[in-house]
Amino acid sequence: MAGIDGKMYGNMVISAANALENQKEDINNLNVFPVPDGDTGSNMSMTIGVVREKAENLPDKLSDCAAQISRMMLMAARGNSGVILSLFFKGMAKALDECDEADSVSLAKAFQSGVDSAYGAVMSPQEGTILTVMRVSAEKALEKAGDEFKNDPAGLLSYMLDVATTTLEQTPEMLPVLKSANVVDAGGSGFVAILNGMRAALNNNAVAYTGTARPQTASAADFSAMDTGEITFGYCTECIIEKDPELCTEERIESLRETLSEMGDSMVFAQDEEIIKLHIHTNEPGIVLSLAQVFGALLTIKVENMRRQHTELSAKSNEQKEEAPAPAPEKEPAKPYGFVSVAAGEGIAAAFTDMGCDRMVVGGQTMNPSLADIISAVEDVNAQTVFVLPNNSNVYLAALQASKEITEKRVIVLATKTIPQGISCMFAFDESLSPEENEAAMTEAASMVKSFSLTYAVHDSTADGMDIHTGQSLGLLNGKVRFYADTDTECLSQMIEEMTEGSVVTIFYGEDVTEEDAKKVAAQFEEALPMADVTLLPGNQPVYKYIISCE
């Protein structure tokens, strides 16, 4: 067959996006480890799905098409799996640069370049993950591309798919946690779906999208005829909520609508049986999204600074009219330091803000922000050096990649994996120190705090000698499951045994915990740790009933 041109490459990626979207729930369900984190399929699908949404804008030239797809996916990337996938396509674009068409050899080299790019972003690659499935299939393809499949890109992709499928089936033998749960790797399964979609397109049988269509997002406001000072509510906030049937009664939804209507203007509130679509102009996007999340998982999030957007659009409009642009307002001098923190929960966000955090990005466990979310927040901070606190291991890679996209200021990403680590970093900051000294001091502070959290098991599982059953209380220490019991009280008692040397204990209670129950837990800690200073605060966080720091 003829080589792969830009149009065919775009069709291949769109077919891959459809295949992944159609299978995302099955892929999500492969995340059976008891921490509620079943979002790999969703993260990967949202990352590559942006290509389907903007298919009409893809260039015809292969190199340009690959580059644009790479950029689109990078900006939409969510979670570790999404970032890895976007970097894979970034590596492919690099290899296809200046190519008009790709034959089997150049296609195989592009896949290998994609693997190199993905591996290069992961500090400690783990065998048995999506990286392994990518690497083995690309290596085998490179061996065969110039010989057996020299003029047969479709045959090469079929061969790659077979290798990837076989490798995926072997992942439980490489990663004990998969074997104990009797599943294959979720990210690797997503990559197999992608290869299947690409192969189908090359065989003129592209995969069609069969999932539930989502409503189109509202168009951005046209600010060209407005004065920036006339914008009362500065943030255009949009999200799509996957409705939880138990929470979404008509009375509660109407209450949400009324509450939100008092927080801004230009509100669009639409729903069907499965989703709620919300658009509002507000000055409190974090609170809006926290309220929305009470009704189900957030499928998409977008927050735009309309004042800054208005300035950019006005300048563009003036340029098109060949008019001299109005003089830009004087910008305040950049301060030495700024902070961006990722967290979910109004109370936790308030704690970071009180300690000097400039911008909050809504996200965390099961709700990973995109690169665009993080980049927008960092760019919004008028500082020479901006520290980013991911506060979740599944957000760190996205934050690190976002930092590489910003050149006009220095961005330092601290490897905070929990909320308590992030708060400890903020306490350790000293404005009189250099960026390097602060990075060292804040990193050390994060390492000194013990981070505990309480949630519940969503699946039966056997891990690290623990036989855990659905519905049991789970206790995490520094992000890893260490405790389990039939009741919260028992599980918290196990945690307390790890806190005997702590002198300061801070407890954030979640959105589903009453103040009365939280006070009982605080009393439990005060009685067991009489020498410790115990502080109880409303965190309003999802997923975790309690997030506890011990220092």
Tens digit of pLDDT for each residue in 418-471?
999 999 999 999 999 999 999 999 999 999 999 999 998 877 877 777 888 888
For residue 216, is pLDDT > 60? no
Does CATH place domain 450-550 in 3.30.1180.10?
yes
Q: Find, among 449, 459, 521, 527, the residue nearest to 491 by Cα.
A: 521
Residues whose CB is less than 8 angstroms from the CB of residue 430 and which lie 6 or more positions away in sequence, other chains included? 437, 438, 441
Q: How far apart are CA 34 and CA 26, in angstroms?
A: 17
Q: What is the pLDDT of residue 212?
A: 42
The tokens of 371 are what?
A: 């690169």
Provide the b/e sequence for 142-174 (b: ≥16 CB within 10 Å): bebbeeebeebbbbbbbbbbebbbebbebbbee
- Decide: helix, strand or coil at residue 97: coil
Of the pLDDT bands very low, low, confident and very high (cuts 50, 70, 90), residue 227 is very low
- Kind and range of the H or E element at 348? helix 346-354
Per the model's pLDDT, the better-predicted residue between 230 and 168 turns out to be 168
Q: What is the rounded distance in angstroms from the CA atom of residue 294 to the CA atom of residue 123? A: 35
CATH number of the structural domain 219-318: 3.30.70.250
Max mean pLDDT among 20-34, 158-172, 445-459 falls in: 158-172
Q: Give 178's pLDDT tier (boundaries 50, 70, 90).
A: confident
The residues spanned by each domain of the chain are 6-202, 219-318, 338-448, 450-550
d(CA 2, CA 218): 41
At a CB cut-off of 8 Å and minimum separation 6, what does 238 contact? 217, 218, 277, 278, 279, 280, 300, 301, 302, 303
Q: Which of 22-26, 188-192, 223-227, 520-524 has the lowest mean pLDDT?
A: 223-227
Answer whether 538's CB lies under 8 Å from 509's CB: yes
**Cα dihedral 432/436/442/446 (nearest 10):** -170
Q: Do domains 219-318 and 338-448 have the same CATH topology?
A: no
* 6-202: CATH superfamily: DhaL domain (1.25.40.340)
What confidence score (pLDDT) does residue 103 get? 93
pTM of the predicted protein model? 0.64
Spatial contact of 65 and 89, defined as CB atoms under 8 Å apart: no
pLDDT bucket at 525, cuts 50 / 70 / 90:
very high
**Architecture of domain 338-448 in this structure:** 3-Layer(aba) Sandwich (3.40)
Confidence of residue 33 (pLDDT cuts 50, 70, 90): very low
Residue with tokens 């159609």: 22
- Mean pLDDT for 305-316 is 50
Lookup: tokens for 284: 């409190």
Query: What pLDDT, on the 0 to 100 scale, is given for residue 143?
Result: 94
Q: What are phi and psi of 482, to 5 degrees?
A: -125, -20
> Got the DSSP string for 450-496?
EEEEEEE-SS-EEETTEEE-TT-EEEEETTEEEEEESSHHHHHHHHH
Burial (0-12, 13-18, 19+ Cβ within 10 Å), 187: buried
d(CA 469, CA 458): 8
What CA–CA distance (Å, rounded) separates 483 from 434?
A: 40
